[in-house]
Each structure stands twice: as structure tokens, then as C-alpha cells.
Structure 1
């Protein structure tokens, strides 16, 4: 970084450097990292733009920009990501929560409230990662009994930490998809499982392909393996959940909806598009108790 810069000049210099390195959205990334390094809120950042860049933060700033230019996701550099108004700690052990997943949370919260008005349905978030879905549901529906599972011990430890920091009572279990819930009655199952076809992973953006955990990306040959396994694992439960919801990849909605229809447990199956109009979630509902 050039010496004697104002904050706004440091921001512009970093934005140009990131753009030249091929980083997408260089300005938003530069602002996010600058606010993180300086510990400034959005309003504080805007007020400080004409201030001199504090020299003591220069090494951390330069390191953050170098890491971003090399392709590392900004969320792993800052160590956090916001999801449904909550701040989650994130590390390379977990997938970074995406905004489109908030739509799945909203759908499950809304349909669950219709099925169990004022009740406390037993809910499991399968493949919880950072714990974002489980924590958001517990925040929206405090009376619900929320549990979360993940195959990765590191992911589960981070999800526990996030829940504790947010003051949320969530039960955590380690294991493959529904296996750790064998023998337990579940009213609601929600999952954002790995859904990228294995052969497509090398074509992903470098910051996803090279930094986010492959365990959370690889959905088998056609990306549908986790959904098939969960449909088979339903027999481990005393009864199928009355409400089930999945996030999925582009072009997978028809296949996942068909898996739910073939299972025969839900008389209503709906598909939910994301803000870009891509069918992103499939939800199965049984209104017969």
C-alpha cells in the first residue's frame, strides 16, 4: 500500500488491485475487508473515508487484500458471514451461508407454523455446516425443538460455537445425514446438502472450488446422491416427517420433487424459486396428522 493515503484512497487502490487480479465485485470486497481491518460499522466507515489510513493497520490490510487477490473468500478472511440478520463465525470447515437459503428457512418456518400452530415440532437440520439454518429457525420459532447434524466434527464444533454465542438452545449430533437421528421421531426435516455433480466441481469459481469444503459441495455423479440417501434413511425414523424441505442446484428441482413423490409421504409438494427465478427449494407437506 502506498504511504500517506486517506481511507478512500486506500479503498480505491485496493479495488483496482483486486479488479486487476480478476476478483469479482472488487469494490464491495475492498470495502468489506477495510471495514473489518479497521473495526468500523457501515456508518463509521462512511464518516472516516477522508481520514488518514492508520499506519498500525497497514500490515493486516495488505495481508487481507493479498489473500483476497489470491482467490480466498472474503468471509474466510473476516471469519464471519451474516445470515438472516445473525452473524455466524465461518471457517474453511464449513460452506459459507448463502442468501438464497434464507428463502428455505422462511418456507419451513411458515409451513411449520401452519401445521403446528403454537406447537413445538421436533426439527432436524441435516448437514448443518455453520448452523445457519438451525439457528435462524430457532430465532424465528423459539418454541420449536431444533436439532442439527453434520458428518464433519469440525463443522459441528463451529455450529455449536455459533449457537452458544447466539444464545440458542440447539442439540447437535454427528453422523451421515439422517443416521444420527435413527429411532427419533422428527416432525420437520430441512437440509441444504451437497448438490454439485462431482465432475462439475472443477468448473466452479476458484474461490468456491479451492477454498470451500469439498465434503459440502460434492453431491455424487449427478448431484442427487444425498437426496436419494435421505429418502432411503427415512426408514430409520419411527415415521416420516410431515414437513421436509431441501435446497438444491440449478436444474435439479424436477428430480428432487420426483424423489419426494415416489416416497409417497407428502400429498403436497411445492417448488420455490430464488430471487433470480431459479427453482432452488423443494418442500413436501403432509397436512394429515
Structure 2
């Protein structure tokens, strides 16, 4: 991917400085380079370099900065000044209370995606209460008997780092979670995160485009829950994204076609090839897309409940659909 090159500026740490002075100097350098939240980024990089938590950083603020770390510190600050996301520099991002390895092969997990996971967990607990074994009367008895013979299966389409899939597997160890991705490198990152959190052996990993590896098998997988945070940026809008996203995050995980909605259209079409449409389908979307995707899902008549979930900024960010009635097509 072609980078939008910034002027090459060198960062020279001041000799004999304190840890606090190192942070302030780096903050000023990053701010001059056009980096947003320069102080916060400098603190994150400093904690990463020195292996300190925030409380320890404040405690050691007036201690001498280790001279042996000056070269490594300069390299970290210069990488951030060029726009590289701090998560890629550190190789990690937290999601739903767990640390996840991230590389330039995967999208960096966002806090708003945690709301999508929460909505799916709540919807599943409503349809299949684990504590009582009771099921909504609207669900067909034959469906329930068939499902009782196997574990609930959730599929995370376009898993990337595996943040969604691994979180579901950790939160619901009784489920079988399947993760798909078009990128083999992304699946490797996701599997490393599953192994890190003790979930790899309870998960399936499928390489392919969206739902294709699920539906194209000789015996298509039965899926109860489908969840996806697919590429949703309109192709023409990518050049206008902030440089941290535009120049460093994988375009494969960003480009949703001309209007950003191609992945949703394709997944809804692919669902026609499934043995049974999932009882729960949940998508993350871009700004201004929620109502159109909700309409597309309603037009299928597969689900009798469809709702939009706002993110922390009040933007419609997710659509979740539930089938609780046997009258749905």
C-alpha cells in the first residue's frame, strides 16, 4: 500500500533528562508532526518502552531516563510522528478486557465494537437461557430439539485480529465459535490471540470471502449466530480518512465498495445457501448506513425483530436482527 510520505524529521532525546522530561519532549515533537492526542501517545509509548503501568510512570516521573533506551525511544517516537498507529508500534490493543495482538495485517479493534459483542451475548441469553433451559415459546420445537443435540454455533465473518470471535469463545465456552477471513495472515493473528486466551481448541478457522467457506462446504455448517464487522468504508472516501487509518490499516478491511454496503448485500445473498438462516445476525456499520442495512435485512423477512444500536457518540453503529417467531420465512 502506498504511503503518504511525511517530511523525515529526526527526534533527538535530550541527554540526562528525567522520564517526565522525555515524555514532554516527545509530546511536543509529536504535536509539531500533526499527531492527535500527542501527550497520550507519548505516555503510551513510554510505558511500552519502560514496561510501566500508568501509576508507575507517574511515580517515576522525576527519575532519570535510562540512557541505554535513548535510541529505542527515538525510533518509537519517529514511527509515531510518521502516523503509524500506536497499537501497531506496541503490537497490542485491549478489547473487552483482554489484550489482543495486532499487526498491520488486521484492523485495530475499536471500543464501539464491544457494544456489538454485548448485544449479541444479551440476545443469545434471551433466546437460549443457560440457567433455566427455558426457550421462547415462539421457537419451533423441532428446532430446539435439533439444537439440543449440538452446541450453539456462532460465526464471526471477517474476523481480523479475532477480537470478536475470541471474546465470544471466552465469554461463552459452551459455544462453538467459527472465524472466517479472506486473509490467511489475519487468521494467523486471530489464532495466536485465541491460543493466548485458551480458546483455540474450541474454535474453527475458515479461509474465504465472507460466508463462502461456511456455505461452500459439502455439508454447510449450521449457524445459530452470525456476527460481522466487515469493510464498510465507501471506496471513494478512503483517501479522506485520517492518515493513521488510510496509510497503515489494511485496505482489505476498509473498502466496502462504491457505497460501502457491498459486504452486507453479499452476506445476505450467501445466507440463501445456508441450511437455516441464523436466529441472530448482527453487523457493525459505518456512519449513516444503519437504516439502509436494517431495511435490507427486513426485506428478507427472515427475522421478526430488527433494531439499531448507537455507539458512544450516539451514531447508529450496529444492526442486530433476531428470529423468535416460526412465522418468519
Give the TM-score normalised by the residue count of structure 2.
0.86
Partner of 2:231: 194
Pairwise CA distance, 1:270:
0.4
Partner of 2:209: 176
- Mapped partners of 1:64, 1:33: distance in 2: 7
- Mapped partners of 1:164, 1:273: distance in 2: 32
2:31 to 6, 16, 19: 19
Whether 1:2 aligns to 2:39 is no
* Residue range with higher mean Cα deviation, 119-128 or 220-229: 119-128
- Mapped partners of 2:37, 2:303: distance in 1: 42
Partner of 1:244: 281
Whether 1:70 aligns to 2:101 is no
Please report the RMSD computed on the Cα atoms of aligned residues, expressed in angstroms: 0.9
Partner of 2:63: 51
Larger-Rg structure: 2
- Mapped partners of 2:198, 2:160: distance in 1: 18
The answer to whether the 8 Å contact 1:244/1:285 transfers is yes
Whether 1:144 aligns to 2:175 is yes
Deviations 1:232-289 (A, max 9, x none): 0002210100000000000000110011001110000000000100000000001136
- Mapped partners of 1:139, 1:5: distance in 2: 44
Pairwise CA distance, 1:2:
0.5
- Mapped partners of 2:188, 2:318: distance in 1: 27
- Mapped partners of 1:178, 1:38: distance in 2: 43
Where 1:236 maps in the other structure, the secondary structure is coil
Q: How does 1:128-277 map to 2 (within 5 A)?
A: 128-168=159-199, 169-182=202-215, 183-277=220-314
1:111 to 112, 123, 135: 123
Pairwise CA distance, 1:58:
1.1
- Mapped partners of 1:49, 1:85: distance in 2: 27
The answer to whether the 8 Å contact 1:179/1:236 transfers is no
- Mapped partners of 1:239, 1:171: distance in 2: 19
Pairwise CA distance, 1:42:
2.0
1:126 to 154, 157, 168: 157
- Mapped partners of 2:37, 2:167: distance in 1: 27
Pairwise CA distance, 1:57:
1.2
Give the TM-score normalised by the residue count of structure 1.
0.98
The answer to whether the 8 Å contact 2:170/2:197 transfers is no
- What is the count of residue pairs matched by the alignment? 289
